[in-house]
Amino acid sequence: MSRFEDYGQREVNPVFRNAVYAIDDDLDFEMLELFLNDGPKSFTELKESLDINSKVAKDRLEKLIKGSLVVNYLQKSTNSRKYSFYDATELASVFLEHLINMEKPTPPVPITGFTWNPTSEIDSFDEDLQNLYVKWNRLKPQRREMLVKNYGL
């Protein structure tokens, strides 16, 4: 019996699966970290903060939006020309927190219709979660340390 069958669900929730696929490398983590630490950013602010070109920013944002980790919203202001902003979703916050604390015992956390308990051994996780764990381990040690430090975990 798989880990998800224990919770009465045979397949990984598509929202969670898309979130796993949305994170490819350090830049994706940097982008999420920027939103989580500094709050919403305009497209220009994001490009400048990460020192990336428009195409890279657009492609990454589209992928992270599809993974439900980033949201784009419009907000008009009378004293600014900026009106389109990007920010991390609550799923991104929970997702990164549990990724960082993957091996620490924590209570189950509800995520869009099912409960994920990160305290079990990695071998019992679904293949997608194992892929995310591999991606986490491929991050530069300094990046992992910075993520852990910035979230105070």
Question: What is the pLDDT at residue 18?
Answer: 84
Question: What tokens were used for 128?
Answer: 């997608």
Question: What mean pLDDT comes out for the span 4-21?
Answer: 68
| Per-residue pLDDT at 123 exceeds 50 | no
**Structure confidence at residue 30 as a pLDDT band (50, 70, 90):** very high
Question: What is the pLDDT at residue 109?
Answer: 55
* pLDDT tens for each residue of 47-90: 999 999 999 999 999 999 999 999 999 887 777 666 889 999 99
Question: What is the pLDDT at residue 19?
Answer: 85
Q: Is the Cβ–Cβ distance between 94 and 86 less than 8 Å?
A: no
The answer to whether the pTM exceeds 0.75 is no
User: Comparing 150 with 71, which gets the higher pLDDT?
Assistant: 71
Residue-by-residue DSSP string for 47-65: HHHHT--HHHHHHHHHHHH
Question: What mean pLDDT comes out for the span 134-142?
Answer: 72
CATH number of the 5-151 domain: 1.10.10.10
* pLDDT tens for each residue of 81-102: 668 899 999 989 888 887 777 6
Question: What is the pLDDT at residue 138?
Answer: 72
Domain ranges of the chain: 5-151
Question: What is the pLDDT at residue 124?
Answer: 46
Q: Is the Cβ–Cβ distance between 74 and 83 less than 8 Å?
A: yes
CA gap 91, 88 in Å, rounded: 8
**At residue 74, what are phi and psi to the nearest 5 degrees?**
-105, 140
**Structure confidence at residue 125 as a pLDDT band (50, 70, 90):** very low
